[in-house]
Amino acid sequence: MDTDYFIEEKIFRSIIIIFVAGFIVIQGFLIGFKNFWSPDTESKLNPSEYRVIESSKDIEHLWIQENIYASNSSKGGVLLDSTDEGVYFLSRFEDNDIYGLSLIKFDLLSGEVVWRTLDNRPAPFGDPSPTELTTNTNNIFIAIPGTQKISGEMSFGTAKLESYDFDGNSVWLRSVNGARSITTMVATDNTVSIDGSFSSNYYLLDANSGKVLNKTPKENGKFIWFIENGVRYEQNEFLIQAVELSNEAILWQNKINEQIFMAPVFSDQHIILRTDKAQFLGTAIALGKDTGEIIWEYPDVLTNIAVDNFVAYFLTADMRLVGIDIETGSTLLNIDFEPNEALDAVNNVYQITAINDIIVVYFGGTKQLSAYRPLVEN
């Protein structure tokens, strides 16, 4: 009986040894196979950081935040914005998909974290991670996707828009009936305009309270961007138009032959568009607000567009940070980075914001948030 036991134990141990040895051999083969077909892939695809190699102006690299993660946003979604109060970024410091994105405020001059919120809402257990962010002079607005399949004008489990003040306190929360997610939102000091996927309506909300000011059926095809000085600026698929509120007279129209998902940027005299063309690239287009005429265009834009002090900033496909005079279209700033390509733009997001002559760029390929300031020429 004892002999049988020892024989069985010996056989069992032999099986374990063979299994472990086989596992080690297979692992070694897989590692060698990977290195054979893609030697040093990790070092090539993930450099430590993007570096400035040439600039048309002297610039100051103010600060850098490393190992900061941001999910690829919804089509046309913006995750990074700034005001005089600071820089706001939907991101996280943990490389873990279990945790949702936080709304993080960074100090504009130092890059230090001022506060972060949403930490109590990891994606599997609470609301999904927010997909878009925008600001006005008083508040921050974030878009939160719904939690279930939506039909009709359902209000339960739909996408939501939440407003925060600059201290990170929630001001109001509004469900967007019938919307599975928020694809585009445009904020002014008075209103927030929302295009929700699967919703039957476009919504125009009061920016201070979240109250619905206007609900336009999508079958009419007109997405109101904003209202200013008695004029309504809106998008009707490829058609951009300005309409007189008092009599509904069309002041101007311009057909843009590329899709527009990203929220437009406005100045006193201009509307800056970023179209969606192909492979995460688009075209920057500046329209005159009074006439709708195209003033200038710039191809192969990788990021969203940020406007500060009459200059439009964006990253291009070959990793150049470009500053364009919004009135003339002339190039005022050109900064070349190395590597000179967007690393894995399919899975990484690249974003930009600018305020008070400080430009903040997120390089998703290196998980790097960097701030630059062009120096004033004497």
What CATH number should be reported for the domain holding residue 60?
Answer: 2.130.10.10
* Residue 248, in any domain of the structure: yes
In a shared domain, residues 19 and 151: no
Question: How far is 307 from 265, CA to CA, in rounded Å?
Answer: 7
- Same domain flag for 183 and 260: yes
Q: pTM of the entire structure?
A: 0.83
Which of 123, 116, 179, 120 lies closest to 148, judged by CA?
A: 179
Model pLDDT, residue 145 = 87
Residues 85 and 155 in one domain: yes
For residue 220, which of 206, 239, 205, 207 has the smallest C-alpha distance? 239
How many domains does the structure of the chain reveal? 2
- Within this chain, do residues 174 and 238 fall inside the same structural domain, yes or no? yes
Q: Are residues 273 and 365 in the same domain?
A: yes
Which residue range(s) make up the domain with 25? 1-34
pLDDT for 199 equals 85
CA dist., res. 350 & res. 180, Å (int) = 24
| pLDDT computed for residue 76 by the predictor | 66
Position 246 scores a pLDDT of: 95
pLDDT of residue 101: 79
For 64, 259, 309, 331, the CA distances from 61, given in Å and listed in that order, are 8, 35, 20, 21
- Do 65 and 29 lie in one domain? The reply is no
Planar angle of CA 285, 290, 291, nearest 5 degrees: 65
Cβ proximity of 204 and 184 under 8 Å: no
42 inside domain: no
Residue 47 lies in a domain: no
Q: Are residues 57 and 177 in the same domain?
A: yes
**10 lies in the same domain as 137:** no
Q: Which residues of the chain have pLDDT under 50?
A: 1-3, 5-6, 8, 12, 20, 23, 25, 28-45, 120, 122-123
Same domain, yes or no: 260 and 341: yes
Q: Tell whether 103 is covered by a domain.
A: yes
In this structure, are 311 and 164 located in the same domain?
A: yes
Which tokens sit at 331?
Answer: 């190039």
- Burial call 306-330: b when 16+ CB within 10 Å, e when fewer: bbbeebbbbbbbebbbbbbebeeee
